[in-house]
Structure 1
Amino acid sequence: MLSESAQPKDRPTMRDVAALAGVGIKTVSRVVNGVSTVAPELVERVRSAADKLGYRPNLTAANLRRSGGRTNTIGLLLEDIGNPFSSAVFRAVEDYARDRSVLVLAASLDENPQRERELTRKLIDRRVDGLIIMPAAQDYRYVLSEQQAGMSFVFVDRLPTPLLADAIVSDNRGGARTAVEHLLRTRRRRVAYFGDDMAIPTAAERFAGFTDALAAAGLVPDDRMVRHGLRTAEQARRAANDLLAGDPPEAIFTSQNLVTVGVVEALHERDLQHDVAIVGFDDIPFAAVLQPGITVMAQDPAAVGRKAVSRLFDRMNGDQSPPAVHTVLTRLIVRGSGELRLPE
């Protein structure tokens, strides 16, 4: 409990500044808003008083009084800002918005639909001008009333159901198929799969790409070599060690960056990194300096972020065109692990 002397004090107001500076409230308001006709001597008195009191203007209230009620803030809700993909999306959105004097308020969802709804509501209550969301929920009809009230939305990485706003996604299924086809060119046929929870749309799409590539080669997935529901590098490491302890697969496709990290750790622990080929979906730190380097199907999270924030600004500025899906292509980065040849 705070002591009486430590109780939080009310923030100083414009009236407090006016009293200390010996001027009227209108003069303080004109100084705060940068009106150029205020006499320099009065400007100095107001600024000096504001500094002594620690006064900060209420920018939200000021913006709401302006035409259109803009607050020059947007919300960004991502799976996990600590994840390299999410953090790259965040940085691209932040850079774009900063160039336009707009502040980004970001938070992590942790694949929790209830958390998503709560954070969405809190950001809307704070009068953000628009929202970019990496979906965690299954049903997005809850945003309809907000859209009708003028709120702009853009979704990233996954499609909302139903499609009520623009969505910016990577080519998950096509990229996964290309990655597995690349592994199959090494003549390896026993290919394992390590991936995220199949309830996550991107995980389901990447597993579909995995099975597409096998089917085109006349193969079917071996259920003994398929591992779903892996959310962390440690979970993936344990699952990989369990599989590698028996009859190791000839190749592995990992469908998420943290999963790739865990599987690569297990391969090195068992000294199998030169025997079992691997291609991961999405790039990972230090992939190029390992031996062998880790071949990946890389997304372009910066492009996803730029496209998302660009579409959001278009919507905030009045674009009324029907919502659309915008796909950002993936690319194969060859580094060695996916090109290991079977012994003759």
Structure 2
Amino acid sequence: MITIKDVAKAAGVSPMTVSRVVNRTDNVNSTMRKRVLRAVEQLGYVPNLSASKLRGKKSTHWTIGLILRDVANPFSAELHRSIEKSLRDSGSLTLTASNDDDRDYARELVMTMRAHQIDGLIIAPPPGNQSYLGAAAETGLPIVIVDRPSDFEQIPSVISDNYDGMRQATRHLISYGHRRIAYLGDEASVPMTARRDGFLAGLQEATIDTTEAIIRLDQFDPIQARETAVSLLESNNPPTAFIGSRNRINVAIIQALRATKRSEEIAMVGFDDIELAAELDPGMTAVAQNPILIGQIATAILMDMLENNRVQDQSVVVSTRLIKRGSGEISRTQPL
């Protein structure tokens, strides 16, 4: 078995220098670092980080569990990359999984990751009871929740300002003369109910009665949302604007507008930006979340909990940004 002393001998340096390179400390010059890394590669040396932990040494090589809703989702994918990048410089490792918004599966994933001796956890929990996270936190596992508020004081959270983002989107459409605005969404999670409430607040601030708008809160599936949008567009009293509550619903609305050839006369704003949104004609006006910043903040909080062995009691709300690209800037054409 190759040891750190073998690497030191091959590189012509001290074992302490090898340790500093392997642990990614900054006090080794680039020439020395390259010599050590070359010897590590030639000898096939693999540092035993678990052994260091067992010997009681303070380690910055953490193993972090990361459980997101769906790593294929654009928001989750950016969040994943942000957290992974934030952890990279410390030499830490992420174990990543999707919970598919299934609470029982999320609980199983937490148990499995704990069995693999994770040092901390960042999770976007499915809707519903978070008692399994509270129980894990009680054992001393540092946990940070993202994209959902926390049910527990000892578990910090980092979330988007879903309420104000949707309120601003609604007021934006109203500023272009729209009153009959169709909102397609659901109430399955706290972020979604916050977006619904933001929409209603935007209407109320403009003294628009909810009966003037069209509110559909049963739109869980993109295919269903597309059918709903087409049906509304073909009705006797169609909306003059749409608001989509999340990225897949946004795509469904865009498809419906294209299918009915109404893309240039019916306004649309989507909550969550989508890939190639700027390439559409017109470009999709969007309420953009900031998954990169959410990931950076969540990682920083977790690292502070790990390195200083303390419980964080905080909730961070990250602002959204309205990106105007054309679809949300179409003025109302129907008479009052």
TM-score, with length taken from structure 1: 0.81
Q: Is the 8 A contact 2:66 2:122 kept in 1?
A: yes
Please state if 1:175 is matched with 2:165. Answer: yes
Q: Is the 8 A contact 1:85 1:301 kept in 2?
A: yes
Q: 1: CA distance between counterparts of 2:42 and 2:290?
A: 49
Q: Which residue of 2 aligns with 1:329?
A: 319
Which sits farther off after the overlay, 83-92 or 60-69? 60-69
Q: Which residue of 2 aligns with 1:213?
A: 202
Q: Which residue of 1 aligns with 2:267?
A: 277
One of 239, 244, 269 as aligned partner of 1:254 = 244
Please state if 1:83 is matched with 2:70. Answer: no
Kindly provide the CA deviation profile for residues 125-149 of structure 1, in whole angstroms up to 9, marking residues without a partner as x.
1111110011214222333343233
**Where in structure 2 are there 5+ consecutive unaligned residues?**
17-39
1:88-167 correspondence runs (5 A): 88-167=78-157
Q: Is the 8 A contact 1:256 1:280 kept in 2?
A: yes
**Where in structure 1 are there 5+ consecutive unaligned residues?**
1-16, 18-27, 39-46
Q: Which residue of 1 aligns with 2:33?
A: none
Q: Which residue of 2 aligns with 1:233?
A: 222
Q: Is the 8 A contact 1:140 1:164 kept in 2?
A: no
One of 314, 319, 330 as aligned partner of 1:340 = 330
Q: 1: CA distance between counterparts of 2:114 and 2:137?
A: 11
| Alignment root-mean-square deviation, CA | 2.8
One of 290, 315, 320 as aligned partner of 2:305 = 315
TM-score, with length taken from structure 2: 0.83
Q: How many residues align?
A: 308
Q: 2: CA distance between counterparts of 1:138 and 1:162?
A: 13
Could you say what secondary structure the match of 1:253 adopts? Answer: strand
> Bigger radius of gyration, 1 or 2?
1
Cα displacement (A) at 1:120: 0.7
Q: Which residue of 2 aligns with 1:13?
A: none
Q: 2: CA distance between counterparts of 1:321 and 1:66?
A: 21
- Report sequence identity in percent: 35
Kindly provide the CA deviation profile for residues 183-217 of structure 1, in whole angstroms up to 9, marking residues without a partner as x.
0011111011111x312111100000000011111
Question: Structure 1: which amino acid aligns with 2:246?
Answer: Q
Question: Structure 2: which amino acid aligns with 1:187?
Answer: G
1:21-100 correspondence runs (5 A): 28-31=2-5, 36=14, 59-61=49-51, 63-68=53-58, 72-100=62-90
Q: 2: CA distance between counterparts of 1:74 and 1:223?
A: 49
Q: Is the 8 A contact 1:138 1:160 kept in 2?
A: no
